[in-house]
Chains A and B, each alone.
Chain A
Amino acid sequence: MNFFLISSFLTLVTCFAFASNETTFNLKWSYDKLPIETEMFEGPLSLASRVSEVGEFKGREQLPIMNDLRTGKLKVRPGESKIIILVVKNKSDKPIKFAVAPHNVMPIEASLGIKFNCLCNGHTYTVAGKSSWYRIMELKTLKPVAASPVEVTMEHRIFSVK
């Protein structure tokens, strides 16, 4: 009995210590007056081979979505990878051609050891009128780095391109 209690306690302590190493990533998107909305979902690591894929988003059934990331916040442990699906919804009738400026990371020091295979690479994308568009992205943290900051904010600015 005592052995059971001690081992349970140790497991809890270990779990707590492990969880405390997590970094909360706060992923933000700004788009001024563009008639769009963004949504994010977490996908399984099995989508890693499809990172950078884009296409028309027809509904949740289309991709193996695990969680809604409504708050834009995602907890990542050191050395972990996360698959993120960005959905851009065009509320207007006309297609919108857009691009994304390189993301800002705060605090700046946190950028050392974060690899975000996102979409801010100078390319332009198009979402058709009254449609939604998706991109599969991957956020990776390297072991030595991610343990330090408690929260990291990464902000992207979406803008229209003629």
Chain B
Amino acid sequence: MKMISVVFCCLIVAANVALGNEKKRTEKPVQVIVDFIYHNFPGKVDLYDVKESSQFDISETRSVVKRADLPVTKSNGGKLEMRPGQAKTFVLVVENKTDKDWYFNATPHSITPAEASVDQKFECLCNHAVFRADKKSIWYRIVRFELGKNFSASSIRLTHNILGIKSEDAKEKYNELLFDK
């Protein structure tokens, strides 16, 4: 009788584990939105998937003249689908077609809903630096977003404010904050 009870219990445990695994597999992906609000900035930030075949580093920040030199594939529009435990690398791109350099800073990002701020990590661009998007060039920065295994929200929106900075202020007032000066 004891033997039968033990076997029965084991079966129940095994079934629960299997159901749990199945549940995890069928869980809906997390909707990730990365967006930007602009303040006195003439450009915009576009998001692209990274070209996996290229040699790149997270936080790599450069300007290129030709679009073909960007380490990107297609635009993802700032919308990603991810699962807990997954990380994605993508590229922020600012195209400056004008004759003047643009200077900007990204304020620390906000997260909506607030509860989604647990168990995630965004290696982004809000590091107190003042960036320069060179004239007639395309600026990019490679970033990485990671959801922890225990991330529990169904969606997360990561919003940065992009502050345009006057050229003279960037060179004088904020000189010590210039990225890679």
Write the residues of chain A forming the contact surface with B, with a CB cutoff of 8 angstroms: 99-105, 108-109, 111-113, 115, 120, 122-124, 142-145, 157, 159, 161-162
B81 on the interface (CB 8 Å rule)?
no
The total number of A-B Cβ pairs within 8 Å is 64
Tell me whether B61 is interfacial, beta carbon within 8 Å. Answer: no
Q: Quick one: given A105-B108, A108-B107, are A142 and B176 in contact (CB under 8 Å)?
A: yes
Interface residues of B (CB under 8 A from A): 39, 105, 107-111, 114-115, 117-121, 128, 130, 152, 161, 163, 165, 173-177
Task: Report which of B121, B163, B175 forms a contact with A112, defined as CB distance below 8 A.
Answer: B163
Could you tell me the distance in whole angstroms from the C-beta of B84 to the nearest C-beta in chain A? 13
Q: How far is the CA of A96 from the CA of B139 in the complex (A)?
A: 45
Q: Within the assembled complex, what's the spacing in Å between the Cα atoms of A151 and B109?
A: 21
> Interface residues of A: mostly helix, strand, loop or mixed?
mixed
A120 to B152, CA, bound (A): 18
In angstroms, Cα B176 to Cα A112, docked, is 12
Given contacts A109-B39, A109-B163, A124-B118, contact A101 B174 (CB under 8 A): no
Name the A residues within 8 Å of B165 (CB-CB).
Answer: 112
Docked-complex contact A102 and B111, CB < 8 angstroms: yes
Q: List 15 A-B contacts (CB under 8 A).
A: A101-B110, A101-B114, A102-B110, A103-B108, A104-B110, A108-B107, A109-B163, A111-B107, A112-B177, A113-B177, A120-B117, A143-B176, A144-B174, A145-B173, A159-B115
Residue of A nearest to B121 (CB): A122
